[in-house]
Amino acid sequence: MTMPNFLIVGAVKAGTTSLYHYLSQHPDIFLPNQKEPHHFAPTKWCGYPAMALDDYETLFEKTDTYTARGEASTGYLYYPESPNLIHQALPDCKIVVILRDPTVRAYSGYMHEVREGLEQHSFEQALAQEQQATRFVRGGEFSFNYLKQGLVCDNIQRYIELFGTHQVHVCWFDDLVNKPHTLMQALFDFLNVDEHFQGEWDYRYNPSGQPKFKALHTLIDGEGTVANWLRARFSGNRKSHRQASLWHRVRDWNLASGERPTLDPSTERLLRSYFQSEVRNLEALLNRDLSEWLN
């Protein structure tokens, strides 16, 4: 049975959707239309159950002609059990991680929940209630609870211990935005496909923000029958993102055109202080200067 030989494991709101679509353009890379099957998640991820093995195997049927076959499930970076589950099933699998300034990423995650109509509190109210243990921002990986046990750093270290440094590739959101060609070339080399392939890396997928027209967003990206059909039919990856689906273009335009509140400076200082130990641990583990994430 053909199975994936690489996985994008996160992080949430760090460009995984764009990375998934960019990689899909390469003729030697296969990614299924369903971006996040979460087969190796031990429990539900943001309310969605892990995909059963039979269904997971079906995603990769008749893909053995591709050099690289993968999928992208961001929960694999947050569940402590996922590295072991993946290694038991796919010991030769390559692991791709993309990381983002946790302060900026936390606010982007909050705005994602606002976008979906799942968060009605202000960011400060949500964080205050979370610190008091009375609630947490949905999918607690978006804010304080997400780093209370250093999950990201610990799980990256676990992936390295299980798979070895030669099978784990860490890339950075800022490079995806500012140096996409360099980032993609290094990633192609890691996946043993033609690194000179010239793709189109200028389209930003899945932005956070408040929709300009909420009714339009609900129609195409809500939980109703019409939205589910539109997603299934029109949101799949394309070999050329100049052909990015009408679904993506309408939804992303609606989000980019809406109001984009900014993070309060005092809240930003609080988050940067809170995330300091995790950032320092990542610096030591990955041998990269992350001082910009602290200032």
DSSP 30: E
In this prediction, residue 150 has a pLDDT band, given cuts at 50, 70 and 90, of low
> Which stretch of 36-50, 54-68, 99-113, 264-278 has the lowest confidence by average pLDDT?
36-50
Give 10's Cβ-side CA count (13 Å radius).
Answer: 24
- The span from the CA of 71 to the CA of 96, in Å, is 10
| CA separation, residue 283 to residues 123, 277, 292 (Å) | 27, 10, 11
Residue 190 has pLDDT above 60, yes or no: yes
Q: What is the pLDDT confidence band of residue 46, given thresholds at 50, 70 and 90? A: low
Question: Predicted confidence band at 244 (pLDDT cuts at 50, 70, 90)?
Answer: low
| Token pair of 16 as six digits | 């995984």
Residue 59 CA, chain-centre distance (Å), reads 19
Q: What's the whole-number mean pLDDT along residues 216-221?
A: 82
Residues 138 and 88 in one domain: yes
pLDDT at 9: 96
Query: CB-based contacts of 260: which residues, under 8 Å, 6+ apart?
Result: 209, 210
* CATH for 176: 3.40.50.300
Query: Would residue 179 count as lying in a domain?
Result: yes
Angstrom CA distances, 106 to 68, 132, 152, stand at: 31, 18, 13
Q: Which residues contact 116 (CB under 8 A, 6 or more apart)?
A: 221
Q: Which residues pair with 94 in a beta bridge?
A: 6
* Model pLDDT for residues 104-130, shown as the tens digit of each residue: 888 888 888 788 777 788 888 877 776
Taking the CA of residue 209 as centre, how many other CA atoms within 13 Å lie in the half-sphere pointing to its CB?
A: 17
Answer yes or no: do 181 and 247 share one domain.
Answer: no
Whole domain around residue 84: which residue ranges? 6-205+274-293
Comparing C-alpha atoms, which of 15, 109, 24, 141 is closest to residue 71? 24
- Judge whether 269 lies within some domain: no
User: Global pTM?
Assistant: 0.87
CA distance 142 to 111: 10
Is 90 exceeded by the pLDDT of residue 22?
yes
Residue 16 lies in a domain: yes
- Cα separations in angstroms, 73 against 108, 148, 254: 18, 22, 25
Backbone φ and ψ for 95, nearest 5 degrees, come out as -115, 125
Strand partners, 171: 98
Q: Domain for residue 1, yes or no?
A: no
Name the phi and psi angles at 2, rounded to 5.
-75, 130
Residues 27/19, Cβ–Cβ less than 8 Å: no
Both 17 and 140 in one domain: the answer is yes
Same domain for 224 and 171, yes or no, is: no
Q: Are residues 92 and 237 in the same domain?
A: no
Of all residues in the chain, what percent carry a pLDDT higher than 70?
87
Residue 52 has phi, psi (to 5 degrees) of -65, 155
* 11 prior amide bond cis, ω within 30: yes
Confidence of residue 210 (pLDDT cuts 50, 70, 90): confident
Residues 197 and 236 reside in one and the same domain:
no
Q: Are 59 and 162 in the same domain?
A: yes
Q: Which residue has the tokens 């059909």?
A: 229
Which pLDDT band holds residue 239 (cuts at 50, 70, 90)?
low
Q: Residue 263 domain-assigned?
A: no
The answer to whether residue 167 is domain-embedded is yes
How high is the pLDDT of residue 139?
Answer: 42
Same domain, 102 and 216: no
pLDDT in tens, 56-92: 999 999 999 999 999 999 989 988 899 999 999 999 9
Q: What are phi and psi of 97, to 5 degrees?
A: -120, 140
Same domain, 106 and 216: no
Q: pLDDT exceeding 90 applies to what percent of the chain?
A: 48
Query: Does residue 268 lie within any of the structural domains?
Result: no
70: in domain:
yes
Structure tokens belonging to residue 280: 């320092």
Contact 244, 201 (CB under 8 A): no
Does residue 25 sit in the same domain as residue 79? yes
Say if residue 152's pLDDT is above 90.
Answer: no
Domain count, the chain: 2
Which position has the higher pLDDT, 131 or 89? 89
pLDDT attached to residue 142:
46
For range 87-106, the mean pLDDT: 94
Same domain, 88 and 231: no
If asked whether residues 145 and 287 sit together in one domain, one would say yes
